[in-house]
Amino acid sequence: MPQEIERKFLVKGDTWRSLGSGKQYKQGYIASEQGRTVRVRVVGEQAWLTIKGKTQGIARAEYEYPLPLDDALEMLQNLCPPPLVEKTRYRIPYEGNVWEVDEFAGDNAGLVIAEVELTGPDQAIALPEWVGQEVSDDPRYFNVNLAKHPYSQW
């Protein structure tokens, strides 16, 4: 079974900005209930449909499939309740891992989160100096919850 194992952290400062270039992301959720989500994501001219299972610790089942861009844009507009999650994602290599730093826009503006995908839940990682408090266990920081309860409303 395909699995996503990741840890999430708040970001402090902005020294990370010079370490990578960003891509614009837009995503929405067709369904999110009882530990299951169905997400549509557009990055540039590419799009995906992603199905995720219930989070158990820092891991969950994840299935991802490419979508035609026009279909994805229609789904975002017609099937995903607003607000959509908008962010710029920066990929930054650091000591053998690639960190993804998400700078949120729209209703989640002001929030910056770094996440790192792991090969196992006990994998040791080195933390860059710009990584702050860990929020892996705080469901408020899950993208699906940022769509339902945006950072601007906290």
Domain that includes residue 25, residue range: 3-153
How many structural domains compose the chain? 1
How does DSSP classify residue 144? H
pLDDT in tens, 11-67: 999 999 999 889 999 999 999 988 899 999 999 999 999 999 998 888 999 999 999
From the list 25, 29, 90, 141, the catalytic residue is: 29
Residue 4 has pLDDT above 90, yes or no: no
Residue 135's CATH number = 2.40.320.10
**What are residue 4's phi and psi, to 5 degrees?**
-105, 125
Q: Give the span between the Cα atoms of 108 and 65, in whole angstroms.
A: 26
The SS3 call for residue 135 is coil
Q: First vs last Cα of the chain: how many Å apart?
A: 35
Facing residues of 93 across strands? Answer: 98
Q: What is the pLDDT of residue 79?
A: 98
**pLDDT tier for residue 123 given thresholds of 50, 70 and 90:** very high
Question: 26-61 burial by CB neighbour count: b if 16+ within 10 A, else e?
Answer: bbbbbebeeeebbbbbbeeeebebbbbbebeebbbb
Instruction: Give yes or no for a contact between 42 and 69, defined as CB atoms under 8 angstroms apart.
Output: yes
Neighbours of 107 (CB within 10 A): 18
Q: Is 94 a catalytic residue?
A: no
Sign of the torsion formed by the C-alpha atoms of 35, 41, 43 and 48:
positive
Q: How far is CA 8 from the centre of its chain?
A: 9
